[in-house]
Amino acid sequence: MKAINILFIILRLFLGGMMIYGGFQKFQKPIPTPIEVVEKAEKFKDPGKESTLQKILYISGSKQTGYFWQLLGIGEILFGLLVLLQFTSFVGAIFLLPITLNIFLFHVFLEADEMPELLQTGALFFINIALVVKEREKWQTLLWIKPI
C-alpha cells in the first residue's frame, strides 16, 4: 500500500472520529432555558467581555431553535460515520464540508485569540478539503463540461 493511501486513511479516521465525538458532545448537556441564557449573558455584558458574550449568544441561539443544535450533532455523527467507511468516505466528506467550514469560521470570527483551537479547526477543514480534492475524478465532470 502506498504511503499516500495510508496518510489519507489516517486523515479519514481523524476527521471522522472528531466529527463523531463533536456530534455526541452536542447531546451531553441539557439545552438551557431562555431565562438561563439571559442570566448567563448578563454576566458578560461589560465591553471587555464582548467576544465571550458573542459566543454565548451564538451557541445558545442555535440551541434555542429547538432543532438546529441537534440537527448539527446528528449530521456530524452521520457524516463522520460515512467518512470512516471506505466506500462512502467521499459522500461523507462532501456533506461534512459546510459543517467543517462553519466550525472553522466560528473560530476565526469569534475565537481568533484561541490559537490552538483555530489551528485544530483549520486542520479539520483542510483535511476535509484534501479528502474531497483527492476524489476529484468523481465530481470534476459536474463542474466542467467535457467537449464531445
Q: CA-to-CA distance for 139 and 127, rounded, in angstroms?
A: 18
Q: CA-to-CA distance for 3 and 90, rounded, in angstroms?
A: 19
The proportion of the chain whose per-residue pLDDT surpasses 70, expressed as a percent, equals: 97
pLDDT, tens digit (0-9, with 9 covering 90-100), for 83-121: 999 899 999 999 999 999 999 999 999 988 899 999 999
Answer yes or no: is pLDDT of 141 > 80: no
Domain boundaries, given as residue ranges, for the chain: 3-31+66-143
pLDDT, position 52: 85
Q: CA-to-CA distance for 30 and 23, rounded, in angstroms?
A: 14
pLDDT, position 25: 96
* Of residues 7 and 148, more confidently modeled: 7
